[in-house]
Structure 1
Amino acid sequence: MLKLLNFPFLIAAISGIAMAIQGTINSCLSQKTSLISATFLVHIIGSLIALIAVIAWRDPLSKHNWGAVPWYLYLGGVLSVIIVGLVALSIPKIGVCNATTAIIIGQVSTAVLIDHFGCFGVSRMPWNPWQIVGIGFFAAGAKLLFR
């Protein structure tokens, strides 16, 4: 239980809360405008906020050796556009709860694989049978949430 109350866990939980709210807001925005326009605008606003943070924390972009970074680490921006678009598209069709549940199952299943294989340069953390059982229970619980 103590593991569930540590700071990184709380930060991750807050991130999950923000993601559910963000998906809902982005979905509503895309219904009032269009999916592509809403996705574009959300990323423009996010970029401006990130720029303000870079300036506020005085983190000069030029100090980093951007050319030494593996190319695939730049795909986060592409994935962000895909994620925002697909979440905004799915919520009106299946609801916030169903979409969020499906997202979390996809995230956890993929995270187990990324950890197990040490993808993208993260430390390898081999899966164990209990994680697979946990994903099975998670999927069964998710089925109960689907309406």
Structure 2
Amino acid sequence: MGTLQWAGLLLLAALAGAVVPFQSALNLNLARGLGHPLWATMVSLVVSVLVLLPVIVALRLPLPSLTQTGMPPLWMWTGGAFGVCFVGLAVVLLPRLGASGFVALALAGQVMSSMVLDHFGWFGLAEKHLTMPRLAGAALLIAGVVLIQFGEGAGKPVAAAG
């Protein structure tokens, strides 16, 4: 993979992370408007489907053929439940932790669980064993989370008006 391709992938990964606080803040306001975080979670996921369907049609993707490839094991279908968990918890936690606190803690959780997934090569991932530099990186991330959430000037979390 060339340097330009690699840089493009890094940029896309950063963009994927950059949209998370916007999604969470928008869903928080939607929850306020709809009266409950679970309604906002439902609407968010329905909108996701409505946005994705035209893209699938535009790309002319064929329907998956479960008869040819076989039915995937049931555990493979559970990814959506994790999406519901993330979106729902973001709506509940964002007003209490703030956008930076929530994203920092979510990122720390993602990095730690990712390191476990990589270490054991679960779900077909390539094994990337825990090393001292990787553990040090995780420790620095946790230190960053603490500073973001509890450092001087962080103040007490307050529910936003509105």
Q: TM-score, normalised to structure 1's length?
A: 0.90
Q: Distance in 1 between matches of 2:132 and 2:16?
A: 27
Report the number of matched residues. Answer: 145
Shift in CA distance, 134/52, structure 1 to aligned 2, threshold 3 Å? same
Q: Report matched runs for 1:1-147 at 5 Å.
A: 6-33=7-34, 34-63=36-65, 65=68, 67-146=70-149, 147=154
Larger Rg: 2
Specify every segment of 5 or more residues in structure 1 that has no aligned partner in the other structure, as ranges.
none
The aligned amino acid for 1:35 is P
Q: Distance in 1 between matches of 2:65 and 2:74?
A: 18
Identity within the alignment, %: 26
Specify every segment of 5 or more residues in structure 2 that has no aligned partner in the other structure, as ranges.
155-162
Query: After TM superposition, what 4+ stretches of structure 1 lie above 6 angstroms from structure 2?
Result: none
Q: TM-score, normalised to structure 2's length?
A: 0.83
Q: Deviations over 1:31-80 (max 9, x none)?
A: 22121111111111101111111111111224455643232221111111
Of Structure 1 and Structure 2, which has the larger fraction of its residues in helix?
A: 1
Q: Deviations over 1:75-113 (max 9, x none)?
A: 111111111000111001111111011000000111111
Q: Deviations over 1:15-43 (max 9, x none)?
A: 00111211111112112212111111111
